[in-house]
A and B are shown apart, each in its own frame.
Chain A
């Protein structure tokens, strides 16, 4: 020990190498427990939920309040101009709306005829605010401010702006962790809407840079899938509800095996500016009953 910085002896007098050994064993035991059992750290989740989440939501609320105030001042003039344009648009849209309502009436009739009531517009949803993001730079999961107290559960689907954001993978009483579909460790079974071809949507840190998600294992022997086609969640996925929009195909490449194709999808959701999300309360497993 140096003579310059001489400190009071620590109270716990276990030699440091034993402490290192003990803590290492604790970590390994925790890892073993998470790998081998279904135990999902519920008591710890609850505990940190009460200690950390209030701070996080407080800080992010202050942040949002401040950015909203600055935006308000800066954008007042732009908003006034926009208001004029929007009034014109309203007029146009009213005309369109009338037409669409007629179409919808027709659609409803047809749907009833085919009993296609699985559209996700019919699911019960709950709004939630993002209060914190992943602390590391490897993955891009985020924390929302609702949890089991609001009726949420693990594996519930999360959407925003009409597109799929991800699903809940971890939960506490007042928070939930959402794993985004753009995340490097996320795989979603998807379907090309036009041709019903199944594909695998795989997030990747490399593609995240350019704002796209990758897809692979598309078997498209007829060459019907084109750039711009809509990709939705497939009905064979066991976690995701069917027909939720994921994005649009932006690039298709033939794989070197000449059987499958892979490429890129532009997601329907703007993941960089995500602030509020909707959680669908219905889960895939419940649909049968």
Chain B
């Protein structure tokens, strides 16, 4: 059972990454595409707690590092902490509530983008924060939140089904 859940988790991350780099790049508005991996990391973080959030974040980040990062481990570290931070909210998570996920994804995406700006741009002397806020950070957050409304229910349904199957198995055994 545990195995099955992990395989599905791996497939979700893979699908998210492939869609983000292909389909959503084609659907980008003004060169801005949504951040699917952060939706996955945050969702798993508060649905299953810190440990899952960390592992999912680490895997998502590592995938980005291998393909697009200049330094291996950078995105992995950022996503790792985002996943862990969202795990804290596991205790106040209710499946019916969509406000919490939206707020958490918004805050996490902003934290992620701000970290990227500071470490990848500010340290190289690109000081015009307002420009980057207006042209990259803000559009990406808006687009990501918009996409969350469609993707989050899918993740929720998937996990609920997994839970049901798991509980059913339990009863039989």
B19 to A: closest C-beta gap in Å: 8
- Which residues of chain A have C-beta atoms less than 8 A from B150's C-beta? none
A55 touches B74 (CB 8 A): no
Asked whether A52 and B17 contact (CB < 8 A) given A20-B80, A27-B80, the answer is: yes
B121 touches A19 (CB 8 A): no
Q: Complex formed: what's the CA distance from A251 to B135 in Å?
A: 23
Q: Which single member of B23, B70, B92 contacts A185 (CB below 8 Å)? A: B70
Number of interface residues of A (CB under 8 A): 57
Q: Is the interface of B mostly helix, strand, loop or mixed?
A: helix
B133-173 to A contact mask, C-beta < 8 Å, 1/0: 00110011000000000000000000000000010000000
> Max chain B CB contacts within 10 Å: which of A28, A136, A140?
A136
A119-155 to B contact mask, C-beta < 8 Å, 1/0: 0000000000001111111111101000000000000
Q: Which single member of B66, B68, B92 contacts A45 (CB below 8 Å)? A: B66
Number of interface residues of B (CB under 8 A): 61
Q: Which single member of B18, B66, B70, B95 contacts A56 (CB below 8 Å)? A: B18
A60 touches B22 (CB 8 A): yes
B73 touches A28 (CB 8 A): yes
Q: Does A259 count as interface, using CB distance less than 8 angstroms?
A: no
- Which residues of chain A have C-beta atoms less than 8 A from B94's C-beta? 4-5
- Which residues of chain B have C-beta atoms less than 8 A from A20's C-beta? 50, 54, 80, 84
B26 touches A63 (CB 8 A): yes
B162 to A: closest C-beta gap in Å: 11
Residue of B nearest to A51 (CB): B14
B136 touches A137 (CB 8 A): yes
Tell me the A23-56 residues at the B interface (CB within 8 Å): 23-24, 26-31, 33-35, 41, 44-45, 48, 51-52, 55-56
**Interface Cβ pair total, 8 Å cutoff:** 156
A150 to B: closest C-beta gap in Å: 18
Q: Does A177 count as interface, using CB distance less than 8 angstroms?
A: yes
Residue of A nearest to B30 (CB): A209
B21 touches A135 (CB 8 A): yes
Chain A: residues with CB nearer than 8 A to chain B? 1-2, 4-5, 7-8, 10-12, 16, 19-20, 23-24, 26-31, 33-35, 41, 44-45, 48, 51-52, 55-56, 59-60, 63, 131-141, 143, 169-170, 177, 184-185, 204-206, 208-209, 272
Chain B: residues with CB nearer than 8 A to chain A? 2, 14, 17-23, 25-26, 31-33, 35, 37, 48-52, 54-55, 58, 61, 63-68, 70-74, 76-77, 80, 84, 87, 90-95, 116-117, 120-121, 124, 126, 128, 131-132, 135-136, 139-140, 166
Query: 6 closest A-B pairs (Cβ-Cβ)?
Result: A30-B73, A132-B21, A27-B77, A27-B73, A16-B50, A133-B25
A–B complex contacts, Cβ < 8 Å, 28 sampled: A1-B91, A2-B90, A12-B51, A19-B51, A20-B50, A23-B58, A26-B76, A27-B80, A30-B65, A30-B72, A34-B71, A34-B73, A41-B72, A48-B66, A52-B14, A55-B18, A59-B18, A59-B19, A132-B22, A133-B21, A133-B25, A137-B31, A139-B68, A141-B68, A143-B21, A170-B67, A206-B126, A206-B135
